[in-house]
Structure 1
Amino acid sequence: MADKNNICIMGASFGGYSALMSPIIEPDLYKCAVGVVGVYDLPLMFKEGDVQERRSGDKYLKAVLGQNVALQESMSPSYNIDKLKVPVLIAHGGMDQRAPIEQAESLIAALEKEDHPYEYLLFEKEGHGFYLEKNRLKYFKRVLKFLGKHIDF
């Protein structure tokens, strides 16, 4: 049971993808979204990051994402910002190899193109997650502040 006027979605890695794609699919359900070290541009998975660098990774991407770029774009938050109604917080590690910084940059470019409200938190020396205590503290404080602006908790 949830208060329909008080729902924010948040996730990391694939969950970051889900956190941005869900309010695109259901634009009136959420009040905000938080994407953390997420994948936001599926075609970019074939060009950047450590998955496509291995033959097994490239094979995996082709199996799960297919090779139809138009279809990949239709399922990518970066290409569907026009359907997004909620404010967004993006947190990313500058040294992320799994979901490289280009994923966050693609999303930010799309958000800016649509003049969509967002906040961005970059940890330049972190990877696919935030491991330094000072960064985790800063991240959690920022998330709480963001949530406090958009939902009652």
Structure 2
Amino acid sequence: MVKKYRGEAVKEIVDYGVLGFLIFLSVVALGVTFERMWVYYHIDVAKFDDKRILELVLHKRLTIIATIGSNAPYIGLLGTVFGIMVTFVEIGSNALIDTQSIMVGLSLALKATAAGLIVAIPSIVFYNFLLRKTEVILSLWDIEHNPPTKVKNPTKYNV
């Protein structure tokens, strides 16, 4: 059995902790996105007499996706900083400096930033998609509850 030194254990904790948390955040973002899409697909604007209540229903949980999208890169960056710190500790504790181990340590540290971006970019896309969908549904509510007095060609607008 190979004995691990302290830096290796810290590196694994950082890797699994940061990457595990980012995976958790991506699952949460996907879950909220699918739940919101289901709500938007099944919502009936005619049942809402007050537009403010409809807005509350439509915007529910959107801040979760926005928060994940805006903070995931920072969580990844934090993992990268920890990984680089561990690599520097390894460099300082060894009398002989091995270039290969330095490069491997730095590249493994950078994967946390990449993972943060992989979580953040789709989350922001999902958020913008859902926000646009709420605007469309609110416009449909306006059309339903405030019909125009005269429409020249109602079949022209296929929503």
TM-score interval, smaller chain: under 0.3
Q: With structure 1 as the length reference, what TM-score do the two structures score?
A: 0.23
Higher percent of residues as strand:
1
TM-score by length of 2: 0.22
Higher relative contact order (CA 8 A, sep 6+): 2
